[in-house]
Amino acid sequence: MSTRSKNLNSVFYSDVYHPIQAGSIDGTDILPHDNAILRAQLCSSIGLYDPFGDPKATGDPYCTLFVGRLSRLTTEDTLRKVMSEYGRIKNLRLVRDIVTGASRGYAFVEFEVEREMRQAYTDAHHLIIDDCEIIVDYNRQQLMPGWIPRRWWS
């Protein structure tokens, strides 16, 4: 990774995630602003969530995007076709329910190079796939110490 790229990362990736301040307009909140944060903090504090314990979370986090709000009907093939417009995809994982195999409505897409991931981050946010407006974000799970998903159990 070049020096320039490291400097750019400091803009996009915070050093530490603070779940209460992340949802605060001015970053000064000290009390949780919704029940999702309370549940996430509880699950994290009693050890139900380990961001580095997921054996399926592989690959370079600096080349990986989180894609959310997917239609439950969106397939790996459909998502690969759409996201490949932004660059070469190294790995794509549509997260599925371990019991039913149904889509959970989000995925992780790893691109070959960081530049392509950044292009997808910029251009794919709010894209419509299978009649659903998607969101994209950086793979915060592995990049931000203290980060916890607000709704990982649903």
Beta carbons within 10 angstroms of residue 131's beta carbon: 8
Beta carbons within 10 angstroms of residue 40's beta carbon: 22
Query: Rounded CA gap, 117 and 101, in Å?
Result: 27
Q: Per-residue pLDDT for 136 more than 80?
A: yes
Q: What is the pTM of this model?
A: 0.68
Q: Topology of 3-143 in CATH?
A: Alpha-Beta Plaits (3.30.70)
Q: What is the pLDDT of residue 5?
A: 44
Q: What is the pLDDT of residue 4?
A: 40
Q: What is the mean pLDDT of the chain?
A: 78
- DSSP for 32-84, please give it: -SSHHHHHHHHHHHTTS--TT--TT--S-GGGEEEEES--TT--HHHHHHHHT
Least confident range of 34-38, 46-50, 110-114: 46-50
Query: Rounded CA gap, 131 and 136, in Å?
Result: 16
Any idea where the domains of the chain sit in the sequence? Answer: 3-143
Q: Per-residue pLDDT for 2 more than 50?
A: no
Condensed to tens digits (0 to 9), the pLDDT of residues 9-28 reads 443 445 665 555 555 666 66
Query: Rounded CA gap, 68 and 46, in Å?
Result: 26
